[in-house]
Amino acid sequence: MRFFTRFGLNIRFAALFCVVVILPDYVFSLFNRDLHYLFDPAFIAAMFVFGFALSFGGKVLFTLLTVLFTLMQLVEQCHIAYFGTPINPSDISKIFGEFGDVAETGASVAADFWYVPVLVVAPFVLLSFFYYKNAKKLGFSVVAVVVVCLALCIKPERAMRKTLKHFLPSEMRYSFHNALNSFSFWLVKSGDGRNIEDILGRHFYKPYEVRPIPAARLPKNIVLIMGESLTSLHMGVLGYDRPTTPRLSALAKDPHFGVFKALSGAVSTHAALPLFFNLVREPGNIEALRAKTANLFRLAKKAGYETHFISTQDAKQTRDLSVPHIDHIVTKENDPFRFARYRDEELISRLKSIDLKKGGHFVVLNFRAVHSPYEKCYENASENFERWPTDVGDDNERRVNAYDNAVAYTDAVIGRLFDVFKASDDKTGVFVMTSDHGQLLGKNGKFGHNILEIETAEVPFIVYGASIDPAAVSGATHYDIGKSVARMMGFEIVNPNEEPNVRFVHGNNLYEDYQFIRVETDENGRMKSQKTGTVGILAPADGTGG
């Protein structure tokens, strides 16, 4: 009690600081239905602690940071107002490199977005009024100054060690949080090389086209499972020597089930998901990624489906998925205690809560299993999945056994999700399952993913309820699967950049020069050759773009 009496003003300042940094988001979201911000108690708590320390920092530090934060928020919110998306580090560099064009465009739309500076600046003015009025009572502490300075160094220091993908903004995250990430990375790495647009130039690839399929008979519901780190090489239903998938193996006997091996679009989650849901095929085709012409959620809305994205992972999974076209978004931040307790089994409850008998739904269920540490995936499961021992002395054997146990757990959850789907199926519904990428489990001493090898991209493709020609999906990639889902929704994707029997597996950092594998197959989908290259080698010699 004495603490609150002694530091009451500082606590009020910290609370006001939290309000100031998130208030514009909630105000803007009242007028723009495309903005969806996920309540993030951890970030708010961090801002409260930072604000508490800042209240002891003195007038000079407060003034400098207030000006800095106001400018950052102003740039962030203006970008959101105009483009509809948060700014990324590459965009910040363009502000200075193309300042004349940016200023001209800004002036032309100033009348339309006059309210943005007002709603950004006014809260900081209120914070400043409170601070300067109570500066003497708030006090001063050298320790607090050190704490503030160290806190400000956390993101830039991380930017020194991490790549761009770790600092790309999420449409679900508070704009101030996104701004801290983007400006920190830009501050540290602004001089490091060029991004994809600089390398390839604009219009390097021809734009995609979406054509409605006349008289297409749409499935009532489409339920799509996006697994995590699930390799087809460890699935019994696809030939693995251990019975890791008893439920899927039983379901596969149904003639309406198709079970195939496929290749993921990329070897990391944050590259694979945007590529899959936007049907991007070519290396470095950022324009298709941003245009979202073939985005599955966008197409689902056009087809009349109610759209859902439910993930046992965090909100970063929604990056570049076209949040405005997703009606219902649930991530682990929505109910961290239930997701921590029930893990992927919580997806069963969430699917049950959707009335699949009413209307049409496009539901994406994003797994956490079988991400490492594998034992964590099934430790709270409703039954025992310790099928293979994990108390063995050999580390490689232990990891493989734990992984296979997690696959068995995933198989059971998928089976129960299928039961929920089937109970509401009107015989037109479609149930699809794949994974973001595969997993290396000891071959040549390599474990995990993010390693650009074909084995890292080996994933399953399972579909129920659609007329699937096995020959048409043999050797399929995520891109091919996405096109199949688009056809189910009544749309044909026309990509003038396609080459017959050529497929790609992408690396990690889609916005920077990255490696990819070019795979050539024969007419039956069997791999003939693979070649690793970089986006940079695709660039025209004169640097003009396509």
pLDDT digits (tens, 9 = 90+) for 241-299: 999 999 999 999 998 888 999 999 999 898 999 999 999 999 999 999 999 999 999 99
> Which residue segments constitute the domains of the chain, with CATH numbers given?
2-192 (no CATH), 217-233+263-538 (3.40.720.10)
**Residue 88 pLDDT:** 77
The 8-class DSSP code of residue 204 comes to -
**Residue 507 pLDDT:** 87
Comparison of pLDDT for 425 and 276, the residue scoring more: 276
Cβ(494)–Cβ(210) below 8 Å = yes
Confidence band, pLDDT 50/70/90 cuts, at residue 203: confident
- Over range 329-337, report the average pLDDT: 91
**Residue 545 pLDDT:** 46
Helices (H), 278-394: 286-291, 296-302, 336-342, 346-352, 374-378
- List the beta bridge partners of residue 458: 263
Our CA angle for 56, 60, 62, nearest 5°, is: 55
352: CB partners within 8 A, 6+ apart: 420
Dihedral in degrees, nearest 10, Cα atoms 492, 496, 501, 507 = -100
- List the beta bridge partners of residue 520: 502, 529
Say how many C-beta atoms besides its own lie within 10 A of residue 203's C-beta: 10
pLDDT in tens, 301-310: 999 999 999 9
Distance (Å, whole) CA 55 – CA 63: 11
Comparison of pLDDT for 131 and 510, the residue scoring more: 131
Radius of gyration of the chain from Cα atoms? 25
- Position 191 pLDDT exceeds 80: no
pLDDT in tens, 339-398: 999 999 999 999 999 999 998 999 999 999 998 889 989 998 989 999 999 988 787 888
Nearest to 180 by CA among 68, 283, 285, 298: 68
pLDDT in tens, 211-231: 999 987 899 999 999 999 999
Distance (Å, whole) CA 142 – CA 203: 54
pLDDT in tens, 102-121: 676 677 667 778 888 999 99
**Residue 546 pLDDT:** 42
Confidence band, pLDDT 50/70/90 cuts, at residue 92: confident
Distance (Å, whole) CA 482 – CA 265: 10
**Residue 30 pLDDT:** 84
